[in-house]
Amino acid sequence: MDSTTDIDAAANELLKGIDIPPQPAILLTIAQEKKNEYPNIKKIAAEISKDVALSAAMLRAANSPAFGVRNKISSISNAVMSLGLNVVFSLVTALCLRNAMPGKGKQRFERFWDTAADSALACSFLAGRFKVMNPDQAYMLGLFHDCGIVLMMHKFSNYMDILKEGNASTEELLTAIEDRACGTNHAVIGYLVARSWFLPQDIRDTILRHHDETVFTKLEDRALAQEVGLLTLAEHCCHSYHRQSEDLIWSRTGNTIVEMLDITEPKLPPIRRRRPHKKYDISGCELKAVSQDKQKCF
Q: What are 235-289's pLDDT values in tens digits?
A: 988 887 776 566 788 889 998 998 898 886 545 544 444 443 333 333 333 333 3
Do residue 92 and residue 32 come from a single domain? yes
Provide, rounded to the nearest whole percent, the portion of the chain with pLDDT above 90.
38
* The predicted structure's pLDDT at residue 107: 61
**Boundary (domain end) residue, out of 34, 69, 100:** 100
**Average pLDDT along the chain:** 80
Count CB-CB contacts under 10 A for residue 19: 12
Residues 32 and 114 in one domain: no
Q: Nearest 5°: phi and psi at 159?
A: -65, -30
**107 and 94 share a domain?**
no
Is 171 a domain residue? yes
Q: CA–CA separation, 109 vs 112, rounded Å?
A: 5
Residue 67 has pLDDT above 70, yes or no: no
Q: Could you tell me the pTM of the whole model?
A: 0.80
Whether 37 is in a domain gets the answer yes
Overall domain count for the chain: 2
Q: Is residue 233 part of a domain?
A: yes
How does pLDDT run across 39-59, given as a tens digit for each residue?
999 999 999 999 898 899 889
- The one-letter amino acid code at 154 reads H
- Tell me whether residue 84 is in a domain: yes
Residues 180 and 64 in one domain: no
pLDDT at 15: 58
Same domain, 131 and 276: yes
Q: Is the same domain home to 46 and 131? A: no
| 236 located within any domain | yes
Comparing 284 with 121, the larger pLDDT belongs to 121
Query: Quick one: 213 and 231 in the same domain?
Result: yes
Inter-residue contact 54 to 48 (CB < 8 Å): yes
**Any idea which of 141-150, 173-182, 217-226 has the lowest mean pLDDT?**
217-226
158/212 same-domain check: yes
Segment 62-69 mean pLDDT: 74
User: End of a domain among 71, 100, 129?
Assistant: 100
* Domain termination site, one of 74, 100, 126: 100
Residue range 106-121: mean pLDDT, rounded? 81
Residue 12 lies in a domain: no
β-bridge mates for residue 162, sequence order: none
Cα angle 209, 108, 236; round to 5? 40
Give the list of residues 6+ apart from residue 60 with CB closer than 8 angstroms, or none.
286, 287
Q: pLDDT tens digits for 173-207?
A: 999 999 999 999 999 999 999 999 989 999 999 99
Which of 91-100, 103-112, 129-138, 140-149 has the weakest average pLDDT? 103-112
> Are both 148 and 294 inside the same structural domain?
yes
Instruction: Examine the domain organization and report whether 109 and 37 are in the same domain.
Output: no
Give the CA angle between residues 10, 11, 12 to the nearest 5°: 95
User: Would you say residue 5 lies in a domain?
Assistant: no
Q: Domain range holding 293?
A: 103-298
In this structure, are 128 and 84 located in the same domain?
no
CATH of residue 242: 1.10.3210.10
Collect all residues with Cβ–Cβ distance below 8 Å to 216 and sequence separation of at least 6.
225, 228, 229, 253, 256, 257, 260
Three-state secondary structure string covering the chain:
CCCHHHHHHCHHHHCCCCCCCCCCHHHHHHHHHHHCCCCCHHHHHHHHHCCHHHHHHHHHHHCCHHHCCCCCCCCHHHHHHHHCHHHHHHHHHHHHHHHHCCCCCCHHHHHHHHHHHHHHHHHHHHHHHHCCCCHHHHHHHHHHCCHHHHHHHHHCCCHHHHHHHHHHCCCCCHHHHHHHHHCCCHHHHHHHHHHHCCCCHHHHHHHHCCCCCHHHHHCCCHHHHHHHHHHHHHHHHHHHHHHCCCCHHHHHHHHHHHHHCCCCHHHHHHHHHCCCCCEECCECCECCEECCCCCCCC
Same domain as 71, residue 138: no
For 8-33, what is each residue's pLDDT tens digit?
555 556 555 677 888 888 998 998 99
